[in-house]
A and B are shown apart, each in its own frame.
Chain A
């Protein structure tokens, strides 16, 4: 039966300009452009990924929202009506990709940063050192020196970051090997980290293992002793901001020879990650896994535990630290995903800003903030978000979507289809080939270099020259247009209030 769903976008080809080179036809991976004597769009299939428009040498293609008005209804928005139509046709859960697009409050945009005037001088980052170096890992409360004034304390393993921004966990499977290579190369060059996600580590990125967090998720794909030891750190993934409380599913058609080897599952089988780890039904079970991994890695790798930001996140994070984690990774509800049910992505979890503030507060109240580093992700969009997150208490930020955009992603939210025209979220060889790992790595480095400079500018204007003087320094943030309760949770004052 022909779908009743109207097209979301309208593709317009200016046939005056078009030279019929067919580049658009070749580039469209969604089959939305055909050639029938002339370039003929099938708008119904367009996802607005911009691949055709970007590569059209004559600028002959424009993509607009399909100008189809619905009878006005504040309650029954066109999106809701379309979703019902889809489900009436399919009987299925609506799948989607990328982060929550709904207009929930974005607290980053309601926080403003301080600057120095007169009484304390600002510092010029072009003239003075401006330090961004950060170490992830558990720290003791204090150091001890013996009678010869030499150190008597040994630290738990620490991972050095030259910039407090690491690449988010995205599995080989969800994204292409070329995307993985680009992330690994960029992380190595920039002195930061990438994260395998739950899909194991392909041999091609193993040379960069010193800069790679390897993930252990509920499916345990690709987890071997070698995998754990060939890493900068190990991360136990409990949850993901885009889909708290549910597992993952890599469809069998994406599981080709290489993914099969990397994940250690047969070719063509679905890779199912259960919702919980079936050996972790409680905090004491988590502690067992943390220490099993520490034993397996001879206590040489920090162990991170990643959770989605949910209502009780502060107490959960405290439990995770007490269970022995060296790093707590918090993923907010706007975090991205390769595939998630829309109902979960759009309605479950809490904003990372509030979760971070609550966790940092809780760990301080309990006097255990030193014992673990806090990483936060879930829609870190710009360097200002990084600055604000660190001021709220994070040690470093995690960027997923932003790194994909740097590689070419247009956030069309169709990752789950495997048709990514930009060669990022796909396993089709002809599409993967489109992403040149070297070029993508350069673009990723550029993004981090730019953000690094911007963070240094802000630090200089704050009159501080080391990132640790910003970390947790909420005094340097003020809220605008936030109710008192939100300000209290964030632990910041409203703009207009002095010291």
Chain B
């Protein structure tokens, strides 16, 4: 299929091997590059899962620093809060179209036993992420999950991908984003994916319910510092799935709930569940146009808003699940597909890891 994108804001693409096969980064770059015209060069990024097999049980922090002071302050902070197994620069190369990158450094961290007397390990890590982002001037956590990482910045996504040398990484899940920013200035931290722990979100759209989503999250101790609506998605999923332990299909039902007219026609049990989810989690409803791809260690979730105001196509080929803003971006990397479909509004496409990661 000929690759000609329609010029409209933001592109997302995601691919996953449900068998845990790892694939290098060139493929996803090719897919997102196909939708070049959907971005404007003010942001691009990737999330990759399974890239640090040797340190897969450590928290991999990808950091962005505006200056050396921020780096020093953060490293002092890490020394207090973690055991630092290794730290090194994030490998990059010169790339046309990429200028003024911040200092990019990564750390492999373990949580000392004695810090976990009163809270879980992941709550502890979440708190430290919130603390760094809100309290250390000029320091920003790009990602903080285990065996995964976010690679993002200001530029077209294909340039960002080459800048970060993604061909050197192999992952069983890749997501990508090309940005056409409207709400926030193009800055490196503001590019997608947004992450927390092993959650990553790439998002095309605008969350018109941001105000209440934010106030709801603040009630549970989340600090929203990034001046962008995408971070609420990452935090909402963290709250619903990790902290409230909702099954993923129930969590996405809260985020893009069915209409009452459809709920009222459901079978009694299903109706009760859907009604209660809306009653209790009404403030988590994401309203406004969006298509998102959420990555996590065990899978990938694609979701559209309730009336599908942003595009999303999904496809399968053997063990591979693909999702993208445009079918062309999938055909570009997998011309021969078993199945290709447009997910219905508000209906999640859920990919689940079914085997050990190779």
From known contacts A468-B283, A469-B285, infer whether A151 and B208 are also in contact, taking CB-CB under 8 Å.
no
- Of the candidates A116, A140, A465, the one having the most CB atoms from chain B within 10 angstroms of its own CB is A465
Q: With the chains together, A1 CA to B307 CA distance in Å?
A: 73
Min CB distance B231 to A, Å, is 13
Q: Do residues B273 and A151 form an inter-chain contact, with CB atoms below 8 A? A: yes
From known contacts A120-B206, A472-B211, infer whether A139 and B279 are also in contact, taking CB-CB under 8 Å.
yes
Say which residue of B183, B261, B269, B283 sits within 8 Å of A471 (CB atoms).
B283
B205 at the interface (CB under 8 A from A): yes
Q: With the chains together, A129 CA to B245 CA distance in Å?
A: 30
B239: nearest chain-A partner, CB-CB? A142
Mask: chain A, 460-488; 1 = CB below 8 Å from B; 0 = not: 00111110111111111000000000000
Q: Do residues B276 and A121 form an inter-chain contact, with CB atoms below 8 A? A: no
B138 at the interface (CB under 8 A from A): no
B278: nearest chain-A partner, CB-CB? A468
Interface 9-mer from A9-17, A363-371, A431-439: A363-371
B207: nearest chain-A partner, CB-CB? A120
Q: Do residues B287 and A464 form an inter-chain contact, with CB atoms below 8 A? A: yes
Contacts of A145 in B (CB 8 A): 245-247, 250
A491: nearest chain-B partner, CB-CB? B215
Contacts of B246 in A (CB 8 A): 142-143, 145
A149: nearest chain-B partner, CB-CB? B247
Main secondary structure of the interface of A (DSSP, over half): loop
Within 8 A of A (CB), among B6-34: 9
Q: Do residues A472 and B208 form an inter-chain contact, with CB atoms below 8 A? A: no
B102 at the interface (CB under 8 A from A): no
Say which residue of B183, B272, B277, B278 sits within 8 Å of A499 (CB atoms).
B183
From known contacts A119-B9, A464-B288, A469-B287, infer whether A155 and B279 are also in contact, taking CB-CB under 8 Å.
yes
Contacts of A144 in B (CB 8 A): 245
Q: With the chains together, A152 CA to B287 CA distance in Å?
A: 28
Contacts of B306 in A (CB 8 A): 465
From known contacts A131-B260, A465-B306, A472-B283, infer whether A142 and B288 are also in contact, taking CB-CB under 8 Å.
no
Residues on A lying within 8 angstroms of B by beta carbon are 116, 118-121, 123, 128-129, 131, 133, 135, 139-145, 149-151, 153, 155, 158, 364, 367, 369-370, 391, 462-466, 468-476, 499
Report the 4 A-B pairs with minimum CB-CB distance, sorted nearest first.
A475-B211, A468-B282, A473-B211, A469-B209
26 contacts across the A-B interface (CB closer than 8 A): A119-B206, A120-B208, A121-B309, A129-B261, A131-B259, A133-B260, A140-B280, A142-B244, A143-B246, A143-B280, A150-B273, A155-B279, A463-B208, A463-B287, A464-B208, A464-B209, A465-B307, A466-B282, A468-B282, A468-B285, A469-B287, A471-B283, A472-B283, A473-B210, A473-B211, A474-B211
